[in-house]
Amino acid sequence: MKRQQLLLLILAFGVFSILNTEMGIIGILPMAAEMYQVDIVQAGMLVSLFALGVAIAGPTMPLLFSRFNRKHVMLLVLGVFTICNALAVVASDFQLLLVLRVVPAFFHPVYCALAFSVAAASVAPEDAPRAVARINMGVAAGMVVGVPISNVLAATFDFSMAMVFFAGVTGLMFLLTMAFVPDLPVTQPMRYGAQLSVLKRPPVWLAIVAVICLNGSIFGVYNYLADYLQKVAALPGELIAALLLVYGLLNICGSYLGGNLLARCPSTTVRLFPLCTIALYCLLFVGGGKLLPLLAALIVAWGILGGINANINQYLLACVASDAPDFSNGLFLTAANLGCMAGTMISGFFIRSLGLPFVVCGGLLLAAAALLLTKFVHCRADEQQATDCPIGS
């Protein structure tokens, strides 16, 4: 039991180190623009190209590495991240910095997909959602904690010191993985064709679209939250920062809660989630911009829902493609990134057409689509795939 808990802890912190590299740079884009003498839009490519690399590599790289010893693959990925982050410390050219960001992005889905698969396989099937939730807590922490730490380091010292932080975290996880993670050979490697064959199943494609809608419903609105709080709710910058931090921290709590809910009542959790999201956005539209107590309460609920969302997304694809866990987790990562992009674009359309208060319309539209899709995925998954899938049990 102690070895199992240690393994889950290392995997969670390993995922944190990967997400820390991806998201931590968001808080220091102005410093990057100043240091490399580029405008903020160009600096934003450090984020957007990384996300594009993850989306492209999601279905392919975990598949390619699925036949190899999982500990060795994890060490390879952490080594690539550490080397690229270390080289970024001394990168004197912006184009070189972009390359050093894009290269590890293609290995990002490999580690994360393996972390989800190893975590689920390390426990009994009924406890898999709880184990996966631990990994999602690492994801949430990487998205929240890295931003303020890198910002403080860059503001106190310089931009390169934030790169030192990224390299130090991934380097530490490389050493801990080498020392404490047991050998994880793949005893019965699946043929690439067998894994790709899951794409022939209609429930898999329905689940992919459902994940796109679910993730888009959350992040499509959240990505404009800071602007909403400033221009619609008219809140001061310090309070906006505090509310965003609260949202992020509650993502971690939501991840833990989501794992327990999916382990105990998966079907109910999947079905109720879009309804809760719809109710939240309706309340936000009606009074969120006018009443601060209501707005604060909605952000608390929103943060928890955001954490639960990540678990549901992974769970849906794991259910309909449980016989190809690495590949299904790669599909999950790609679908989640595509959902973030699609949600941002759809909510942006409503902002341009109707104004910033109508940003929630994008989330409402996608949540309504997810509500229909999750019901259909549930039925099709039960009829056509994986009798061990706990949805509907």
Domain spans of the chain?
A: 2-180, 192-384
DSSP conformational letter for 288? I
Residues 167/297, Cβ–Cβ less than 8 Å = no
Q: Is the pLDDT of residue 272 over 70?
A: yes
Tell me, what's the pLDDT at 213? 95
Which CATH number does 2-180 carry?
Answer: 1.20.1250.20
Neighbours of 51 (CB within 10 A): 17
> Using 50, 70 and 90 to split pLDDT, how confident is the model at 1?
low
> Using 50, 70 and 90 to split pLDDT, how confident is the model at 136?
confident
Residues 217/367, Cβ–Cβ less than 8 Å = yes
For residues 114 and 11, give the distance between their C-alpha atoms in angstroms, rounded to a whole number: 9
Work out the burial of residue 37: count CB atoms within 10 Å of its CB; fewer than 13 is exposed, 13-18 middle, 19 or more buried: exposed
> Using 50, 70 and 90 to split pLDDT, how confident is the model at 210?
very high
Does the CA dihedral 312-316-318-319 come out positive or negative?
positive
Tell me, what's the pLDDT at 388? 40
Residues 361/148, Cβ–Cβ less than 8 Å = no
pLDDT in tens, 250-265: 988 898 898 889 888 8
For residues 56 and 171, give the distance between their C-alpha atoms in angstroms, rounded to a whole number: 25
| Range 375-384 average pLDDT | 54
pLDDT in tens, 307-339: 899 889 988 988 888 778 888 888 888 888 888
> Using 50, 70 and 90 to split pLDDT, how confident is the model at 240?
confident
Tell me, what's the pLDDT at 378? 54
DSSP 88-100: HHS--SHHHHHHH
Per CATH, the homologous superfamily of domain 192-384 is MFS general substrate transporter like domains (1.20.1250.20)
For 342, phi and psi rounded to 5 degrees? -65, -45
Residues 375/267, Cβ–Cβ less than 8 Å = no
Tell me, what's the pLDDT at 392? 35
Tell me, what's the pLDDT at 242? 83
For residues 124 and 128, give the distance between their C-alpha atoms in angstroms, rounded to a whole number: 6
Q: Cα separations (Å) of 331 from 61, 271, 315?
A: 10, 21, 12
Tell me, what's the pLDDT at 385? 40
Q: Is the pLDDT of residue 352 over 50?
A: yes
Tell me, what's the pLDDT at 176? 95
pLDDT in tens, 161-206: 999 999 999 999 999 999 999 888 887 777 778 778 888 888 899 9
Q: Is the pLDDT of residue 79 over 60?
A: yes
Neighbours of 189 (CB within 10 A): 12
| Range 78-96 average pLDDT | 95
Neighbours of 138 (CB within 10 A): 27
Q: Cα separations (Å) of 204 from 209, 329, 333, 349?
A: 9, 12, 14, 29
Using a pLDDT cut of 70, give the percent of the chain over it: 95
Non-local (6+) Cβ contacts of 98 within 8 A are 45, 46, 49
**Do 2-180 and 192-384 show the same overall fold?**
yes
Q: Which of 137, 178, 14, 10 is nearest to 81 (CA)?
A: 14
> Using 50, 70 and 90 to split pLDDT, how confident is the model at 155?
confident
Sequence-ordered alpha helix ranges (H) in the chain = 2-23, 29-36, 40-43, 45-57, 61-64, 70-89, 94-105, 108-121, 128-144, 146-156, 159-180, 192-196, 202-222, 225-231, 237-264, 266-283, 292-320, 325-354, 360-384
Tell me, what's the pLDDT at 122? 86
